[in-house]
Amino acid sequence: MASTDPVVAVVGSYNVGLTMQVPAFPAPGETVVGREFAEGPGGKGSNQAVAAARLGAESRFVGRVGADRYGDDAVALWDAEGVDADAVTRDEATHTGVGFVIVDEDGENEITVAPGANDRLSAADVRERAAAIETADALLVQLEIGDEPVRAAVEAAAAAGTTVVCNPAPARELPADVLARVDYLTPNEHEARTLAGAGGDGGAGTDSGDEGDGEGRGAITDEAVARELLDLGAGTVVLTLGGAGALLVSGDGVERVRAPPVDAVDTTGAGDAFNGALAVALAEGLEDRAAVRFGCAAGALAVTAPEVVPGLPGRAAVDDLVADSW
């Protein structure tokens, strides 16, 4: 890989993660007694920026947090992880975003979010900080922020020739002008169907890139949905399939990239690890299949540890796994 550090700009969210382990998810109206509780940093944007930094990139984060203790914690995290947060705004008008996560015995998760400052990240904020994007090798965006800041980010990247990676999570339809500027779109099955207008009933996806058993998935249907997204304007679609790996679909053809087998402990951060790693690999100039394989290795390692940020792997571990044959 390249001898100089790749530069990855991430535009997205920061949320405090409040996580509880439970024996089973509660039914409506049911109270379940939890086992363990943890409070820690989260938000897809921040997680992916940290993931990129741990994998050796010069990672830059553009976002908005509250002028509260959770915002202070965010700044301390980025300092500790080597993430450049000069483009983050401290917002005195609202709170830092908060995410509530419950994880069951099988490592599956359910998540709710109170966005707070994330909802106030504007297109003007992004344009004022466009230099962080224009001088990067790759831009990584997600959908825990509004359409307008996402549009401003991809426009700045496209104008500068910066590779655009969009992780469309949580799932919602994207404006056509935004999708047309995305070089690599990384939905899971549910997100792909939402983007394609097919609804979420055909897929078994959980959080983007999360580990699953891969059983019962229809490869032909996955490919057809991915091709619909190409027709809508995306340059390349990397459809994540959890424990089954990913489907790489472009104008050059279709290729399935298997993920290494692991014992999942907590799938919450798998998608963030995958996307951060994919952006780093693309920024380093890897060809598509190698970049997706690198992402699969990072995602697999992430699910072997509890909690998101503690589970994001370092470069040596990912390189070692990539070097193995699986």
> Is the per-residue pLDDT at 293 higher than 60?
yes
What residues contact residue 298 under an 8 Å CB cut-off, 6+ apart?
51, 55, 273, 274, 276, 277, 312, 313, 318
pLDDT tier, 101 (very low <50, low <70, confident <90, very high otherwise) = confident
In a domain, 26, yes or no: yes
Containing structural domain, residue 149 = 11-323
Q: What was the pLDDT predicted at 267?
A: 86
Give the pTM: 0.87
In a domain, 6, yes or no: no
Angle between helices 44-54 and 69-81 (to 10 degrees): 20
Which residue in 300, 187, 298 sits closest to 237, CA to CA? 187
The enclosing domain of 114 has a CATH number of 3.40.1190.20
Mean per-residue pLDDT of the chain: 91
Q: Which residue has the higher pLDDT, 203 or 32?
A: 32
> DSSP code of 113?
E
In a domain, 4, yes or no: no
Q: Exposed e or buried b for every residue in 90-106, given b needs 16+ CB within 10 A? A: ebeebbbbbbebbbeee
Q: How many domains does the chain have?
A: 1
Q: Which residue has the higher pLDDT, 124 or 268?
A: 124
In a domain, 1, yes or no: no
Quick check: is 272 catalytic? Answer: yes
DSSP string, 156-177: HHHHHT-EEEEE--S--PPPHH
Three-class secondary structure of residue 317 per DSSP: helix
Percent of the chain with pLDDT over 70: 92
In a domain, 309, yes or no: yes
In a domain, 29, yes or no: yes
User: Tens digits of per-residue pLDDT, 172-224?
Assistant: 989 999 999 999 999 999 999 999 986 544 443 333 344 334 444 444 489 99
In a domain, 2, yes or no: no
- Residue of 222, 272, 288, 324 marked active site: 272
Beta bridge partners of 8: 59, 138
